[in-house]
A = this chain, B = another copy of it.
Amino acid sequence: MSATTTSTPGSTRRLTAKGEATRARIVDAASSLVFAHGVTRTGVEDIQREAGVSASQLYHYFGDKQTLMRAVIAHQTEAVLAAQRPELDSLDTFEALLRWRDRLVTLQRSRHCVGGCPIGSIAAEVADEDPQARADLVAGFEQWEAPLRSGLATMRDRGLLRPDTDTDRLALALLAALQGGLLLTQTRRTTVPLEAALDSMIELIRAYAA
């Protein structure tokens, strides 16, 4: 395989296939530890041990923990979106919204409601501490909100929702309900809050049915 470049943080230099694999192993390990314990509790040494790399290898790829955490945010954003596919990419019918809702609830149930949202929990921890991480999290949430917006806009354009429906506002409220539902689900160890939050927002969207 030829050397590749990516635009994700900490990998602006060209990497060999082996280098890409090592870099990915570090990001995977760091993401797992951050999901389980949070950013602050995850030490660089823990990540080295989990990834099976030396301090100099980790430094070679990421320079500092902050740069690695940016890569973790990018990785977890991708993972969060991937876990909602294929539904997330075509939320353009009421049936699709319900399938997406079921996927989210099932995922939390399979995790025994532990961990909350992989990027929401990072946001709660670092948004006020690290302006660059906050900017990355804003971009991550935007990647999540965009398919919600476009799905609802498609429903409106197809005549499933009334022409005057403010689909952008509903999409943002849906993401907020999802985030709050995940946090309460993590705290209470039951999917009831997530279900109540998503079902209520979907019910509101239904109230705009044409």
Residues of A107-149 at the interface with B, using a CB-CB cut-off of 8 Å, are 114-116, 120-121, 123-125, 127-129, 134, 137-138, 141
CA–CA, A124 to B127, complex, Å?
A: 13
Name the contact of A116 in the complex, choosing from B127, B177, B184, B187 (C-beta under 8 A): B127
Residues of A25-44 at the interface with B, using a CB-CB cut-off of 8 Å, are 36-38, 40-41
Q: How many residues of A contact B (CB 8 A)?
A: 49
How far does the Cβ of A40 sit from chain B's closest Cβ, in whole Å? 4
Residues of B near A98 (CB, < 8 A) are: none
Closest 7 CB pairs of A and B: A180-B180, A179-B180, A176-B180, A124-B124, A173-B200, A176-B197, A40-B40
Q: Are A183 and B40 in contact (CB under 8 A)?
A: no
Q: With an 8 A cutoff between CB atoms, is A181 at the interface? A: yes
Residues of B near A83 (CB, < 8 A) are: none
Q: With an 8 A cutoff between CB atoms, is A18 at the interface? A: no
What is the chain B residue whose CB lies nearest that of A131? B189
A-B residue pairs in contact (CB < 8 Å), sample of 12 = A120-B183, A121-B124, A121-B125, A124-B124, A124-B125, A134-B187, A138-B188, A177-B177, A179-B180, A180-B183, A201-B204, A204-B207
CA–CA, A200 to B183, complex, Å?
A: 19
CA–CA, A128 to B118, complex, Å?
A: 13
Per-position 1/0 for A142-183, Cβ under 8 A of B: 000000000000000000000000000110110111111111
Q: With an 8 A cutoff between CB atoms, is A17 at the interface? A: no
Residues of B near A138 (CB, < 8 A) are: 187-188
How far does the Cβ of A156 sit from chain B's closest Cβ, in whole Å? 16
How far does the Cβ of A75 sit from chain B's closest Cβ, in whole Å? 18
How far does the Cβ of A119 sit from chain B's closest Cβ, in whole Å? 9
Q: With an 8 A cutoff between CB atoms, is A203 at the interface? A: yes
